[in-house]
Structure 1
Amino acid sequence: MLQEIREIGTHAVAIYDYLVAGLDPRIKGYFLMQSPIPMSLILLCYLSFVLYLGPRLMANRKPFQLKEAMIVYNFFLVALSIYIVYEFLMSGWATTYTWRCDAVDTSDSPQALRMVQVAWLFWFSKIIELMDTIFFVLRKKHGQITFLHIFHHSLMPWTWWWGVGYAPGGMGSFHAMVNCSVHIIMYFYYGLAAAGPRFQKFLWWKKYMTAIQLIQFVLVSIHATQYYFMDSCDYQFPIILHLIWMYGTFFFVLFSNFWVQAYVKGKRLPKQAASQSQNGTAVYKNGTCHENCKHHENGKHHENGIKYGTTNGCSHHENGSTHMGKMKKA
């Protein structure tokens, strides 16, 4: 039995060494790219905090008011996403790429090294975005920590570490460029929403955020699907395209279900939100009313929409006490 355990351990070490040895030598000098272990530990700590430690630490504490921190955080990610999209374009997508079968440039040319750098920066931005959930925990918005949210935020950094490690560029980087383009819009929305109620009039387009996400997954899946209809393609890592296609399709299904439940059937109101809305209060998320929360304005009762709950925020409530007063009179 002991001998079998040793053999299993030896094989595991051999597989690990093989995987690490196959990493692109140009990427190994970047932070956290020497081994998948530090990245995996970060994600395990993230999951432990948001699912267990954080809620227990906050159980007997008042929620933190993090308005200024969220404004800075969101607009920082807007600027970072703009920079990443620009670098992807200049590294190939607006210069030498055909938008069809584009292989990874493995040379040490300035443009190839520029693509390696922006590919790593995109991956590292996924580590930064783990703060989305940390904000939820610290503000005690446990209703926003959904399966979709945690799955998305933990899967992306883990899978993209391998994608960047083996194929920093080429066809596979289209997914990263589109994702950052969407994040420019998304975090700009969250930044305005976190600034307070006075910006609500500029956020009329919040219901379209889920639609933008759906468009992203369609574009990514269509681009990856090209590979299956080409007579020949010299892209070196087709497995990455298979994963991107599956990822895009899987999340398209999840977000489509969210859209139907939220905007067609209106069944996405959590129990806590339902209880709060009955008592004349609203659910808070990045400055906007969501999850079918009731928005009371001047004693009138209005249905509001749902927005994808993967990022930080809060909501506002106007004249809810007036509405409750009228209810009491009745």
Structure 2
Amino acid sequence: MALALKKMYQGYFWVINDLADPRTDDYFLMSSPIPVIIIVGLWLKFIFHWGPAYMKDRPPYDLKYIMIFYNVFQIFANGFITYLAWTARKEVDWECTPVDYSSSYWGQLFLWSSHKYFMLKIADLLDTIFFVLRKKDRHISFLHTYHHFGMVLITWIGARYVGGGHSYFIAYNSKYGKLEWLKKLITQAQLVQFIFILYMFVKLFFTKGCEYPKIVPFFIVPQNLFMIILFGDFYVRIIFLDNGV
């Protein structure tokens, strides 16, 4: 038993430290997954237990101006990440782009962008908190929760281990706000994004000699297939609801 625990202990540090990109050690929330797990755990506890219990006998909060600021910030922040991805388009190969782990300009820029993209996924958790405080609990669906939860974990892993290279194609993800009339357009854009990412990572299975880590598509491909199914179902339900079916 003691030997097994020792092996697990050593294995944990081998995965978290030895396999990770050492350049991320000094980045915020990057040196260990524990703070991120705590953040996500507290978020889940709040949206399903603490928050609803606190709001039970209270009127919904008016967060209009806070949400305007939040959405404007998200649009500009995500737009900036997308802009950086656009400026780096000549540095990537659509067939295979290995991760540049050096201290070169592009290697550092890709890593910096990956980390900031992860931080924006942390900020996205506020979406659900706003739902709770506005007593819009019906919006907290499995799709909503899984998507936010999954993106935080996946983007942390991406920044920690593969901050650049073929991961570049995940950066094309825009934030349009939560305007009701844009619901269909946003869902369509997300479906296109998931299909695009699925295509780019499936190709890696058939690209010989590619130095991008082969293990990554084994996580990205099923994740995006699952998201296509979930968002596809959500999109179909939007159409039926809008048509009164």
Q: Which aligned pairs between 1:79-158 and structure 2 lie closer than 5 A?
A: 79-90=76-87, 92=88, 94-158=89-153
Instruction: Tell me the equivalent position of 1:19.
Output: 15
1:234 aligns with 2:211: yes
Instruction: Tell me the equivalent position of 1:163.
Output: 158
TM-superposed CA distance for 1:96, in Å, is 1.5
Indicate how the Cα distance of structure 1 residues 248 and 106 shifts in structure 2: closer, same or farther if over 3 A, else same: same
Indicate how the Cα distance of structure 1 residues 169 and 304 shifts in structure 2: closer, same or farther if over 3 A, else same: farther
TM-superposed CA distance for 1:205, in Å, is 4.6
Whether contact under 8 Å (2:99, 2:165) holds in the other structure is yes
TM-superposed CA distance for 1:304, in Å, is 7.6
Rg bigger for which structure? 1
2:117 and 2:238 mapped to 1: Cα distance? 30
Q: Which aligned pairs between 1:308-327 and structure 2 lie closer than 5 A?
A: none
Which amino acid letter does the alignment assign opposite residue 65 of structure 1?
D
Whether contact under 8 Å (2:110, 2:168) holds in the other structure is no
1:33 and 1:209 mapped to 2: Cα distance? 30
Whether contact under 8 Å (2:184, 2:235) holds in the other structure is no
Q: Give me the TM-score of the superposition, normalised by structure 1.
A: 0.70
1:222 and 1:82 mapped to 2: Cα distance? 23
TM-superposed CA distance for 1:95, in Å, is 2.5
2:224 to 242, 248, 268: 248
2:244 and 2:127 mapped to 1: Cα distance? 23
1:86 and 1:126 mapped to 2: Cα distance? 17
1:224 aligns with 2:201: yes
2:11 and 2:168 mapped to 1: Cα distance? 26
CA RMSD, aligned part only?
1.8
Report Cα offsets for 1:190-249 as digits up to 9, x if no partner. Answer: 3xx4xxxxxxxxx755422211111111111111111122232121x2211221111111
Identity across matched positions, percent: 33
Instruction: Tell me the equivalent position of 1:210.
Output: 187
TM-superposed CA distance for 1:255, in Å, is 1.1
Q: Which aligned pairs between 1:47-58 and structure 2 lie closer than 5 A?
A: 47-58=44-55
Q: Give me the TM-score of the superposition, normalised by structure 2.
A: 0.93
Indicate how the Cα distance of structure 1 residues 9 and 231 shifts in structure 2: closer, same or farther if over 3 A, else same: closer
Which amino acid letter does the alignment assign opposite residue 37 of structure 2?
S
Which amino acid letter does the alignment assign opposite residue 133 of structure 1?
T
TM-superposed CA distance for 1:100, in Å, is 1.8
Which amino acid letter does the alignment assign opposite residue 76 of structure 2?
A
2:238 and 2:14 mapped to 1: Cα distance? 46
Whether contact under 8 Å (1:172, 1:244) holds in the other structure is no
1:152 and 1:49 mapped to 2: Cα distance? 17
Instruction: Tell me the equivalent position of 1:76.
Output: 73
